[in-house]
Structures are given as structure tokens and as C-alpha cells.
A and B are shown apart, each in its own frame.
Chain A
Amino acid sequence: MSATLNDEIRKVLSDHARLPMQAGSIDENADLFQAGMSSHASVNVMLALEDAFDIEFPDAMLRRSVFESISAIADAVAQLSPQAA
């Protein structure tokens, strides 16, 4: 997974996830919900990801596991927007 994609995801998380720590310091496999991201904040993250990558998450992808870590989000973004990977 490209460092650039993860960096862009960290930027979205920094702006929208309302985590108690710097998004830049989070391990890419760390559980974001356990780190303090609320379910409502995950909605903002989803909408911001759609803006950042010009994608749309279908309902079938609105699962906890899709948004639970930076690497999981990167996989989802890559699936929805192959050119982003």
C-alpha cells in the first residue's frame, strides 16, 4: 500500500475522526474505534474519504471492519478507486 494513500487517509482522520491523539502517530493496523473514534465521527470520515478520493461507499461497505483501521480504509479506497492505490 502506498505511503501517499495512507498519508491522505491520515489527513482525513486528522480532520474528521476526532481522535484524542495525532492521526500521524497511529499505527496503520490500530483499531480506530478503540482509539476513540465514535460511530458518528466515522460517518464524517466516510464522507470526507468520498470527497478526497472521488468515490462513493455503497451500503454494503458500511461495515465496522471497513473503517476500523488505516489499512482497512486503504483497502476499501483501493477497491473503490483503483487509481488511488
Chain B
Amino acid sequence: VLKFSADQSLSGYEMSVRVGIDLVSVEEVERSIAAHGERYLSRIYSEQELVDSRARPSRLAARFAAKEAAMKALGRDDEGFGWKSIEVKRRDDGQPTLELAGEAAELAHRRGVRKITVSLTHERDRAAAVVVMETN
């Protein structure tokens, strides 16, 4: 059993992490679909994300939260990149994973990111995501 205390240095456990969190109103997602329809969906979510979540605004809200949480974890200065460059996928066991492409992937490379973990949650009216990036 490993015990940790504030004054204990964990020699041999050199790991740095970047963390991002975001919270999204499910109602806002529903309003966006009502106001902008397919243009909103296709601009923000990948084809796979829409297959997984199109019928469930709470799931879409969780995916949007994951994209924002990832941007926060990346510590975006003012780089411009589209929401679809950060994509939530599902592994065969149902666990969500995050895939980065394009500018987002390049920024992650510059930040020394070598592993990304994402956790999603949603209730009826709110969805949230936490993203942890392990870096060199």
C-alpha cells in the first residue's frame, strides 16, 4: 500500500499532468439544435459522435464539455481550431476516450502530452467532463 503525505516526495513517480474541466447546460444544447439544427450538429460533433449521441442532448452536452475541458487542459493560448478536432469515442468496453486531430493534436504534441484520459457525466439538465493529460 502506498501512503502519501504532503511532505513525502514520491521518488520514482515523476509524472506531470494537465487537467481541464467543463460544465454544460443540456438545455443550451437543445436550444442550439432548435435554433441552428444540422449546422450546429455538423460543426461541433464528428460523425461518430452524432451516431453515438444524436438522439440524446445530454450526451451531446457531455461531449461538448469534453472538448472544452480538453482545450483547457491543453492550455490553449489563442490557437484557433475547430471543435471536431477533439473527438469523444467509445471503446468496446464502453469507456470514453478522447482523440485529437489537426491543430489540437499538434498543440498536444508541443505540450508533451503522451496520454489522455476523459471522464464524462450527465444528469437531466447538466453534463460535465474532466480531461487529464499526462505529459513528459
Contact = CB atoms under 8 A, between A and B. Distances in A.
Contact of B25 (A16, A40, A48, A62): A40
Nearest to A63: B80
Interface string A9-45: 0000000101000000000000000000011110110
Contact of A39 (B36, B68, B103): B68
B80 A60 contact: yes
Interface in B1-52: 22, 24-25, 28-29, 31-32, 35-36, 39-40, 43-44
Contact of A59 (B29, B78, B82): B82
Contacts of A61: 80
A29 B7 CA distance: 46
A60 to B, nearest CB: 4
B80 A41 contact: no
Contacts of A62: 80-83
A52 interface: no
User: Do most interface residues of chain B lie in helix, strand or loop, or is the interface mixed?
Assistant: helix
Contacts of A16: 35
A47 interface: yes
Interface of B: 22, 24-25, 28-29, 31-32, 35-36, 39-40, 43-44, 64, 68, 76, 78-83, 85, 102-103
12 contacts: A38-B25, A40-B28, A40-B32, A40-B64, A43-B43, A48-B35, A48-B36, A59-B102, A60-B80, A62-B82, A63-B79, A66-B80
Given A44-B32, A44-B36, 7 more contacts: A40-B28, A40-B32, A40-B64, A43-B43, A47-B39, A60-B81, A62-B83
